[in-house]
């Protein structure tokens, strides 16, 4: 009986590890795509139209605003790792604003994934935008579900490094707390079976809030750096 219980326990441990790795890979891939699109290399509207006409564009994201239905943001990728954008706000077509009607006409018939980003960054409150507004259509479903499932796992467990309030702030204000949670809880992903390091002290809610601010700033800095590095290397 003891052997059978041990096998069942090992089975649950392996299943949990598989789920944990799957969630982590989804969130990491989503974070990478977001980082690459975070600091796109600057292009002109003419270059965008030329890329669309040549069939080089694989994904387009845009954001609208204004009473005239202008484009306030336009980014596109030429392959999964290469992102370009137009820095003018709103986007301009010569002396005029670039309207949604003109944009729709320009991309008519393209096979690229076209995603409209809703509202402005931060409109969802303290919940991070990136898992739910991925710059590639379809990815938002996977990253949104992975982030939500990881949040439920955190709330249903007894975290080792901090209480639930601490992890709440790390998940939200910290932007990448879900990724950190999957890496470190209930034990570091790289630790062996049966190993469970005991921390010196768990973070309180107040401490977690302070740490989350630093983590959020670090996440933005890393995302910007990765985006700019990709722009330099990949053009």
Give the model's pLDDT for residue 1: 45
User: Mean pLDDT over residues 95-122, rounded?
Assistant: 83
Q: Which two tokens stand for residue 228?
A: 């700019």
Q: What is the pLDDT of residues 64-97, one digit of tens each?
A: 887 668 899 999 988 767 888 998 888 988 888 9
Q: Could you tell me the pLDDT band of residue 208, with boundaries at 50, 70 and 90? A: very high
User: Which residues, including other chains, have CB under 8 Å from residue 118's CB and lie 6 or more apart?
Assistant: 63, 133
Q: What is the pLDDT of residues 19-70, one digit of tens each?
A: 999 999 999 999 988 888 877 888 999 999 999 999 999 889 898 887 668 8
Q: Is the dihedral of CA 97, 101, 107, 113 positive or negative?
A: positive
* pLDDT at 5 exceeding the cut of 60: no
Q: What is the pLDDT of residues 163-207, one digit of tens each?
A: 999 999 999 999 999 999 999 998 888 877 666 666 668 899 999
Give the model's pLDDT for residue 145: 95
* pTM > 0.85: yes or no: no
Higher pLDDT, 31 or 118: 31
């Amino acid at each position: 009986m003891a052997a059978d219980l041990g096998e069942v326990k090992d089975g649950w441990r392996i299943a949990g590890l598989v789920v944990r790795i799957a969630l982590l890979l989804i969130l990491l891939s989503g974070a990478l795509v977001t980082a690459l699109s975070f600091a796109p290399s600057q292009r002109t509207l003419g270059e965008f139209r030329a890329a669309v006409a040549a069939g080089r564009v694989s994904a387009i994201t845009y954001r609208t605003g204004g009473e005239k239905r202008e484009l306030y943001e336009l980014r596109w990728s030429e392959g999964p790792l290469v992102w370009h954008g137009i820095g003018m706000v709103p986007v301009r077509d010569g002396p005029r604003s670039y309207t949604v009607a003109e944009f729709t006409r320009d991309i008519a018939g393209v096979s690229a994934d076209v995603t409209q980003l809703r509202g402005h960054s931060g409109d969802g409150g303290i919940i991070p935008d990136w898992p739910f507004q991925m710059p590639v259509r379809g990815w938002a479903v996977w990253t949104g579900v992975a982030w939500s499932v990881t949040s439920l796992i955190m709330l249903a467990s007894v975290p080792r490094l901090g209480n639930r309030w601490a992890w709440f702030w790390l998940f939200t204000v910290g932007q990448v707390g879900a990724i950190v949670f999957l890496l470190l809880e209930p034990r570091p992903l790289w630790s062996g079976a049966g190993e469970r390091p005991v921390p010196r002290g768990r973070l309180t809610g107040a401490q977690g809030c302070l740490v989350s601010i630093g983590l959020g700033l670090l996440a933005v800095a890393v995302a910007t750096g990765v985006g700019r590095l990709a722009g330099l290397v990949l053009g």
